[in-house]
Amino acid sequence: MEDVIIIGTGCAGYTAAIYTARANLKPLMLSGMQPGGQLTTTTEVENFPGHPEGIMGPELMNRMQKQAEKFGTRIQYEQVDIVEKQPDGTFLVKTASHDYSSKTVIIATGAAPRHLGLPNEKELIGRGLTSCATCDGAFYPDVPVAVIGGGDSACEEAGFLTRFASKVYLVHRRDELRASKIMADRALANPKITPIWNSTVTAYLTDEKGEMRAMKLQNLVTGEESETEVKCVFVAIGHVPNSSFLGDLVDLDENGYILQIPGRTATKTAGLFAAGDVADHFYRQAITAAGQGCAAALEAERYLSH
């Protein structure tokens, strides 16, 4: 029987692990599909306190992992399928290969990139459709590419892609970016980035090899349709929280985010805590996720000591 199982290895998960490990609870982490979370697919992180020169996202996550392991955290690279509450108040956490039992569970599973829901998306992933510029940008040198979205992620990805691509279209459904002013100004000042305002992508068009050839666009103000040739489309339109495996152990809001007890990381199920982007649609920052990971660890410790 474990004292604490932490599901997810992003900022929230590792911070919860550092705190529970230092409290001698020997946490077990189950890492899921994307070990290290969203920061492993970003470039430089300039706003995590303590790194005045900035730090690369994957490096920051490596350091968190080392810090968690240094105090006795164990990590298993397994995807959790289901969590169930047992009659004795403990939890059964099932993966494809193991059943684990634990007195408390911290959910820190983050959120996955959202897609537009166009018919051939699945076939195109890895063939000119992606949501990770850091991972795939270098595969598209000297060709036009597009980023969809108007937030900080879209601006960051577009800026990063200008290192490789001949031209980066930034397709946004409104005529004003949602991104913070500094990120928006930086993107719009970049001569390699061409914004396409008030527009949505209505189809991904492929070549004879089944790879991305162009995007079909619709101007949402005029209704006009057009085609723009691109070799890759990077989708940056936000995220969907990874909360569906929890069944009725938690209440979710209309977008699937876990509802915590106000001001806490506790959920409606005693002993089950939620931290980071799986529960936070408002701040969604690495540092706020880390803060919630700390809070969830402290709440789990208190729950165990009572």
User: Whose Cβ is closer to ligand NAP: residue 51's or residue 178's?
Assistant: 178
Examine residue 186 and tell whether it contacts ligand NAP (CB under 6 A): no
Query: Per the structure block, which two tokens stand in for 125?
Result: 């992933």
Examine residue 280 and tell whether it contacts ligand NAP (CB under 6 A): no
User: Whose Cβ is closer to ligand NAP: residue 150's or residue 291's?
Assistant: 150
Candidate segments 6-14, 59-67, 170-178, 260-268, binder of ligand NAP by CB under 6 A: 170-178
Among 40, 153, 228, 269, binds ligand NAP (CB under 6 A): 153
Candidate segments 152-160, 191-199, 217-225, 296-304, binder of ligand NAP by CB under 6 A: 152-160
Residue-wise burial string across 60-93, b where 16 or more C-beta atoms lie within 10 A, e elsewhere: bbeebbebbbebebebeebebeebebeeeebbeb
Query: Per the structure block, which two tokens stand in for 271?
Result: 């002993």
Examine residue 178 and tell whether it contacts ligand NAP (CB under 6 A): yes
Classify residue 236 by its DSSP letter.
Answer: -
| Alpha carbon separation from 305 to 31, 102, 129 (Å, rounded) | 26, 14, 49
Among 2, 78, 156, 301, binds ligand NAP (CB under 6 A): 156
What sign results for the dihedral spanned by CA atoms 36, 37, 43, 46? negative
**Residues 249 and 267: beta-carbon distance below 8 Å:** yes
Provide the minimum distance between the beta carbon of 217 and ligand NAP in the complex, in angstroms, as a whole number: 12
Which residues are designated catalytic?
132, 135-136
**Residues at the site binding ligand NAP, with contacts judged by CB under 6 A:** 47, 116, 148-154, 156, 173-174, 178, 200, 236-238, 284
